[in-house]
C-alpha cells in the first residue's frame, strides 16, 4: 500500500519531540508539507528534520494569542493532528482544581479550538483529516493520574462529535488510542514509579510488570509505531474510517472495542 500525501499540508501540535515528532516525520515521508509546532521558536527550528518539507510553526496553543498567531501563519491545513498534551503522576485526592483545569485546557481545549478553526475550510474543500491522539488511559484510567485519563476520555467524545459535524463532507475525524509509548517523558515517568537505580531495560520491564501487566506486547511501543497509524488515517486509503477510536495500544485495553 502506497500512502501518498503529496500536495497536502499537515499540522501536528506538540511536535518537537516524542510521538509528535515521529508523526510529523512520517507524514513528511508520505509527501505532505508538515508544520512543526511547539511553544519555543528556537526549539521548533532546532528540531526541524533535514529531510522532507517542514515549516516552523511555533505558538503557545493554550492562549488565544498563540492560536491567532498560528492561524495567521497557517490559515488552512488539510491534515490536523491534535497531539499536544501533558501528563504526570499525582495522588487522586491531591489534584487541585487548578490542575484539573490545566489538564483540560491543554489536553482537550487546544484541539477543540483548532478543529473549530480548520474544519469549516476542510468541509468547503471536500477533503480533510482530523485526528486526536488519545491514550489507553481513556479507557483504563490509571489510578496514579486520573486527571490525565479524564482528558483522554474526553477526546474520544470530542472526536466522535466532530465526526458527526463533518458527516458527508469528505472530512474524516478520528481518535488514536496510543498505548504505553517509549518517549523521553515516559522514561522520566517510569522512573517515578520504579527503582531509579535500575538500568533502562530492567526499569521498563518492571514498569510493564507492575503497572501495565495487561499489555499483550509486553514492551513499550515505539513512537514510529503510533505514527504509522496516523499516516494511514491521514491518507486517501482511510476514507471510510471516521468517528472511530483506533487502537495502537499493544493489546493493552482488554476489550474487543474501546
For every one of its 258 residues, what pLDDT tens digit does the chain have, with 9 covering 90 and above? 899 999 999 999 999 999 999 999 999 999 999 999 999 999 999 999 988 999 999 999 999 999 999 999 999 999 999 999 999 889 999 999 999 999 999 999 999 999 999 999 999 999 999 999 999 999 999 999 999 999 999 999 999 999 999 999 999 999 999 999 998 878 888 999 999 999 999 999 899 999 889 999 988 999 999 999 999 999 999 999 999 999 999 999 998 887
Q: Alpha carbon of 197 to those of 102, 181, 201, 220, 225: distances in Å?
A: 32, 21, 12, 19, 28
Global pTM value: 0.94
> Among residues 118, 148, 191, 232, which one is catalytic?
148
C-alpha span between 20 and 133 (Å, rounded): 9
Beta strands in 24-146 (DSSP E): 33-36, 53-56, 79-82, 128-135
Positive or negative torsion for Cα 248, 104, 161, 227 = negative
Instruction: Answer left, alpha or beta for residue 243, where phi above 0 means left and psi between -120 and 50 means alpha.
Output: left
Domains and CATH numbers, the chain: 9-181+222-248 (3.40.50.720), 185-220 (no CATH)
- Please check whether residue 211 is in contact with residue 200, taking contact to mean a CB–CB distance below 8 angstroms: no
Closest by CA to 170, choosing from 116, 129, 127, is 127
- Please check whether residue 149 is in contact with residue 88, taking contact to mean a CB–CB distance below 8 angstroms: no
* Annotation marks residue 148 as catalytic: yes
Closest by CA to 31, choosing from 71, 73, 2, is 2
Amino acid at each position: 500500500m502506497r500512502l501518498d500525501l503529496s500536495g497536502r499540508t499537515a499540522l501536528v501540535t506538540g511536535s518537537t519531540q516524542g510521538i509528535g515528532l515521529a508523526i510529523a516525520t512520517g507524514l513528511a515521508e508520505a509527501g505532505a508539507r508538515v508544520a512543526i509546532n511547539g511553544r519555543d521558536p528556537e526549539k521548533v527550528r532546532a528540531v526541524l528534520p533535514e529531510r522532507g518539507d517542514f515549516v516552523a510553526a511555533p505558538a503557545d496553543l493554550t492562549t488565544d494569542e498563540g492560536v491567532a498567531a498560528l492561524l495567521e501563519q497557517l490559515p488552512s491545513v488539510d491534515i490536523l493532528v491534535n497531539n499536544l498534551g501533558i501528563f504526570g503522576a499525582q495522588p487522586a485526592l491531591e489534584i487541585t482544581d487548578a490542575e484539573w483545569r490545566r489538564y483540560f485546557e491543554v489536553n482537550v481545549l487546544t484541539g477543540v479550538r483548532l478543529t473549530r478553526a480548520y474544519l469549516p475550510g476542510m468541509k468547503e474543500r471536500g477533503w480533510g483529516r482530523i485526528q486526536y491522539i488519545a491514550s489507553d488511559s481513556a479507557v483504563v484510567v490509571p489510578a496514579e493520574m486520573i486527571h490525565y485519563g479524564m482528558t483522554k476520555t474526553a477526546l474520544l467524545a470530542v472526536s466522535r462529535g466532530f465526526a458527526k459535524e463533518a458527516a458527508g463532507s469528505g472530512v474524516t475525524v478520528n481518535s488514536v488510542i496510543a498505548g504505553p509509548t517509549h518517549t523521553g517523558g515516559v522514561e522520566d515517568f517510569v522512573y517515578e514509579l520504579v527503582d531509579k537505580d535500575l538500568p533502562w531495560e530492567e526499569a521498563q520491564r518492571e514498569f510493564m510488570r507492575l503497572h501495565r501487566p495487561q499489555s499483550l506486547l509486553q514492551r513499550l511501543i515505539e513512537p514510529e509505531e503510533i505514527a504509522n497509524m496516523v499516516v494511514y488515517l491521514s491518507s486517501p486509503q482511510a476514507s471510510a474510517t471516521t468517528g472511530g477510536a483506533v487502537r495502537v495500544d499493544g493489546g493493552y485495553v482488554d476489550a474487543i472495542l474501546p
